[in-house]
Amino acid sequence: MRIAQEEVFGPVVSLITCESFDEALEIANGIPYGLSTALYSRDVNKAFRAIRDLEAGITYINAPTIGAEVHLPFGGVKQTGNGHREGGTGALDFYTTWKSAYIDYSDKLQRAQIDLGE
């Protein structure tokens, strides 16, 4: 169903019936994108399974798929992006580059990664 596979920038929602929770997960994951997902349930087991198994960068339980807060990573999987995140520590990861600094103050030759059995 094309309308359930493509991004629709309008007030349209595809309501797809399913027979089971597993099938619902399958339908939700059966798209090339993975930004935001939501599950409405009072069943704590299903809630945690949804968090674990929904292929998306964000999963809401008992809340709509909008409502991300700035202090947690924002972004998705599959064709939603390339793994980087905006927001939270994800943003800091992207906008910084690591510098590893080693200071040898032994005043002698010390061989790293050469194994002389010393």
Partner 1 sequence: MDRFPHMARPFRMSIPPTRTTLIGEFQSSGADDVSDAVSAAAEAWKTWRLTPAPKRAEILYRTGEILSQRKEQHAQEMTREMGKVLSETRGDVQEAIDTAYYMAGEGRRLFGQTTPSELKSKFAMSIRMPVGVVGMIAPWNFPMAIPSWKLFPALVCGNTCVIKPAEDTPLSTFNLVQALIDAGLPPGVVNIVTGYGPDAGAPIVSHPGIRAISFTGSSEVGRIVGQTAAANFKPLLARDGRQERHDRPRRRQPRSCPRRSRLGSLRHHRPALQPPPAASSCTRRSRQSSPRGWSPAPTPSR
User: Which positions lie near partner 1, rule CB under 8 A?
Assistant: 51-52, 63, 69, 71-73, 77-84, 88-89, 107-109, 111, 113-117
The 3-state DSSP class for residue 54 equals coil
Q: Are 25 and 53 in contact (CB under 8 A)?
A: yes
- With a CB cutoff of 8 Å and minimum separation 6, the contacts of 116 are none
The rounded distance, in Å, linking the Cα atoms of 97 and 23 is: 42
Supply the minimum distance, in Å, between the C-beta of residue 72 and partner 1.
Answer: 5
Considering beta carbons, is residue 8 or 48 the nearer one to partner 1?
Answer: 48
Supply the minimum distance, in Å, between the C-beta of residue 2 and partner 1.
Answer: 20
Supply the minimum distance, in Å, between the C-beta of residue 5 and partner 1.
Answer: 16
